[in-house]
Structures are given as structure tokens and as C-alpha cells.
Amino acid sequence: MFARLFSAFALLAGSACAPAPELVAQETAPDRTAWVEACAEWDDWDKPGPPFRVSANTYYVGTCGITALLVTGERGHVLIDGGTAGGAATIASNIEALGFQLSDVKLLLHSREHFDHVGGLAELQRRTGARLLASPEAAPVLASGRESAEDPQSGMHDPFPAARVNDQVVPGEPVRLGNLTLIPVATPGHTPGALSWQWQSCAGENCQAIVYADSLSPISSDEYRFSDHPGYVAGFRQGLVSLASLDCEILLTPHPSASDMRKRLLAGSLSAEPRCETYAQSIRARLDARLAEEADRT
């Protein structure tokens, strides 16, 4: 369904996906090798790393251990994820290092509603003045700074700075800002309100389909059993089906290591595997193994 929806919006967007002239001029982004040299495969969440161009108008602006993505447009930019509360300053600095103004960031989006990915959104919202959009399940978490009781990891993490949620997104309904169109895909599992995102990153008529997929690992507190929540598991599996169906030329994840980003950078191509279908299959195998392990403990 989402693959067909993406194809439809791509046809409607047409030449609108081309960035404005001032964005095409942003050819001074640091080379990807600078990030590879600064960051290890599994690195500290708040360790600063240099920004780099992912493709056309999409940039990596996160830390060594946590992804944040800037998608630039002619009427403003979109920032997906804000890292930890301590990592927000690095994200802001990376955006400015690319030559962009923080005030031109107009929308803030999220992957999953855990402190290591959304803890910095409140500070970034303060610095940019951007509107924050959230999934219905994640909205109260972002607004309170506390995980929901339905989260498999509930009680495991400290609260994070609360942000102002301006509106909610509906999975499957495109989020638009000027010439930018991003499609939210519901991928609950690691958290109840986790979203993955799909968009086209374009330079002129050359476009690549990018998917920012939640890391989706079936991790929980010691007391939580996924098998005790069949409805949650059903939603988890449906999200994996949706993810596997997406057009996905470049796959990125909230933890770079979850999709072997550094290895692909070293190999010279972010378009290499894993793609969405392979990635979804690997997560499905992990979920099946977790359920089997729970059954063995019964």
C-alpha cells in the first residue's frame, strides 16, 4: 500500500522535488569520509561527528551514535529526530556547519519516542521555533517526557525534556512543506508510537527514494513478555510488512549501526544492502526468536 502511495505522490510532485537554486549551491558539505574517520561502528550516543550529505537535499546531522536527518526545501527544512538532550547542541551545530539557518527548520519529526532520539527535540524546538508533529501514541510521551505504560521498556529510562507537540500525523498521510513530501509509516514494536519515514531526495530530475526506518529491535524490561500482548505483536508484524513493501534505495536507521551505515560508507555506497525488505526480514527473525524464547521459559 505504502509503495503505491509513494509512487502516486512522486508522480504528482514531478519537478517540484527539485531543490531551489540556493540548495543546489550547497556543495560544500563535508565528505562522508570525515564521519567514518571520526566515528566507530558502535559509538557513544553524544559523541560529536561531522555532518555529511546523504543524497541531494538530505543530510546526516546527528552524532556518531544517534542519527538525525535534515531534509532541505525551498520553503524551509525538516529535521527528523533530535538525539539526546545532550546531543541537541551537536545537531544544531551540524546544521549551521552545512550553511543552513536554524530558523529555516520549520518542522520537527520523530522516529521512536525514547530519550535517546527525542530527548533533544525540546531544545531544538527552542532554537529553531519549528513545529513538532508526532504520532498519536507518541504525542503524550513527547509532551510529558515520560514513556507510556504500554512501552515494552517502560520504567527503564529517566524522563527527558518535554516538548510542545503542535499537531499529530496520520500514518500513510503525507506531511508536506513547500516542495517536500514525507510519508509517515506506522512501525510500532520497539515503542508503541514509532514511525518510519519515506521521501524522495532530489537534485534536478535525479531522485532517490530514502527510508528512515525505526530500529525496531524487540527489546524490553525483564518483566515484559511480548507474547502476553498479542495485539501489540500483531501491530509489530504489520509494521514490518508495511516497511518491507516500501521503495527503498537508501535505508537509514536511528542507530547508524542498525543498518550498517558506517560499513556502507566505507564500501562507498549508501545504496548497498540492507534495503527495506532485507531489514524487515531481519527484524522479523529477531521477533520470532524473542517469542520462541518466551515460550521456552513458560
Q: Write out residues in the chain with pLDDT < 70, as ranges.
A: 1-30
Asked if residue 161 has a cis previous peptide bond (ω within 30° of 0), the answer is no
Residue 288: per-residue pLDDT = 98
Q: Rounded to the nearest 10 degrees, what angle do helices 121-128 and 88-97 cross at?
A: 40
Strand pairing report for 52-55 and 69-71: unpaired
CATH number assigned to the domain comprising residue 200: 3.60.15.10
Distance CA 194, CA 234 (A): 15
How many independent structural domains does the chain possess?
A: 1
Residue 183: per-residue pLDDT = 98
Distance CA 218, CA 289 (A): 10
Residue 21: per-residue pLDDT = 36
Distance CA 175, CA 130 (A): 14
Residue 20: per-residue pLDDT = 46
Residues 216/284, Cβ–Cβ less than 8 Å:
no
From 179, 143, 146, select the one nearest 163 (Cα to Cα): 143
Using only the alpha carbons of the chain, give its radius of gyration. 18
Residue 51: per-residue pLDDT = 97
Sequential DSSP letters for 24-71? HT---PPPHHHHHHH--SS--TT-----EEEETTEEE-S-SSS--EEE
In the chain, the amino acid numbered 126 is R
Residue 149: per-residue pLDDT = 96
Residue 65: per-residue pLDDT = 97
Distance CA 112, CA 66 (A): 12
Strands lying side by side in the sheet with 77-80? 52-55, 58-60, 69-71, 77-80, 105-109, 131-134, 165-168
Phi, psi of 126 (to 5 degrees): -65, -40
Residue that is written with C-alpha cell 520497539 in the block: 190
Q: Whole domain around residue 177: which residue ranges?
A: 2-297
Angstrom distances, CA of residue 92 to CA of 35, 49, 110, 287, 290 = 17, 12, 16, 35, 38
CB atoms within 10 A of CB 232: 17
